[in-house]
Amino acid sequence: MKLVVGLGNIGKEYENTYHNAGFITIDKVAEEIGVRFNNRSCDADWGDINYKGEKVIFAKPRTYMNLSGKSVNSFMKKYDIDISDVIVIVDDIDQEVGGVRIRKTGSAGTHNGLKSIIAETGSKDFLRVRVGIGKQREHQDLKDFVLSRIKMTDEQKSGFERAKLAVIDIIGGESIDAVMTKYNGNVTKNGKH
């Protein structure tokens, strides 16, 4: 069993903000493969599907970003999911707009959602699909930037599309190394990477 978690903040005021790149991406994956978020438990809205012979849970924590780990840990305990079967989709200010970076492990950096997951699960060895949102403007507060509305440029759309396809390949059983080779990197002006 796999657990795919899109990170974000619930509520209308946070819709289509940069910090909700995880929610946006997981919604695109769910739409593509027919998952509905019609359950609410483990501090999340979630749905599941049998995909290519394996059960996959898709979750959007309702804890707000900084406590995302509580929801992830609840799913892991309730459904006996190993940390190596957790896939987290998250915004990344260290990637250019539209860039995608898939990583098997690593530190949380400045990301409070990742910090919470590491703290709650006691491990940093979970897969991350990081969606590039670019850096804040000079003199702009990081919090103000990540909570601002996304400018849906062609590059940003391409990033969401590639992140969606990467998640689908991962849950479909493609090797992580192959998926990393295929999708990791920045996007050019014509939408290619």
**Contact by Cβ (8 Å): 112, 7:** no
pLDDT confidence of residue 128:
97
User: Does residue 19 have an active-site annotation?
Assistant: yes
pLDDT at site 191: 45
Domain assignments of the chain as residue spans, ordered by start = 2-183
3-state secondary structure the chain: CEEEEECCCCCHHHCCEHHHHHHHHHHHHHHHHCCCCCEEECCEEEEEEEECCEEEEEEEECCCHHHHHHHHHHHHHHHCCCHHHEEEEEEECCCCCCCEEEECCCCCCCCHHHHHHHHHHCCCCCEEEEEECCCCCCCCCHHHHHCCECCCCHHHHHHHHHHHHHHHHHHCCCCHHHHHHHHCECCCCCCCC
Domain 2-183, CATH number (from 3.20.20.70, 3.40.50.1470, 3.90.1150.10, 1.10.10.60): 3.40.50.1470
pTM given for the model: 0.92
Three-state secondary structure call for residue 4 = strand
pLDDT at site 187:
62
Cross-strand partners of 16: none
Find the catalytic residue in 19, 111, 139, 193: 19
Angle at 44 between CA 40 and CA 45, to 5 degrees: 55
Structure tokens at 180: 């990393």
pLDDT at 2: 97
CA-to-CA distance for 163 and 155, rounded, in angstroms?
A: 12
Per-block mean pLDDT, blocks of 10 residues, the chain (193 long): 97 92 97 97 97 96 96 98 97 90 88 95 96 79 80 90 97 95 72 47
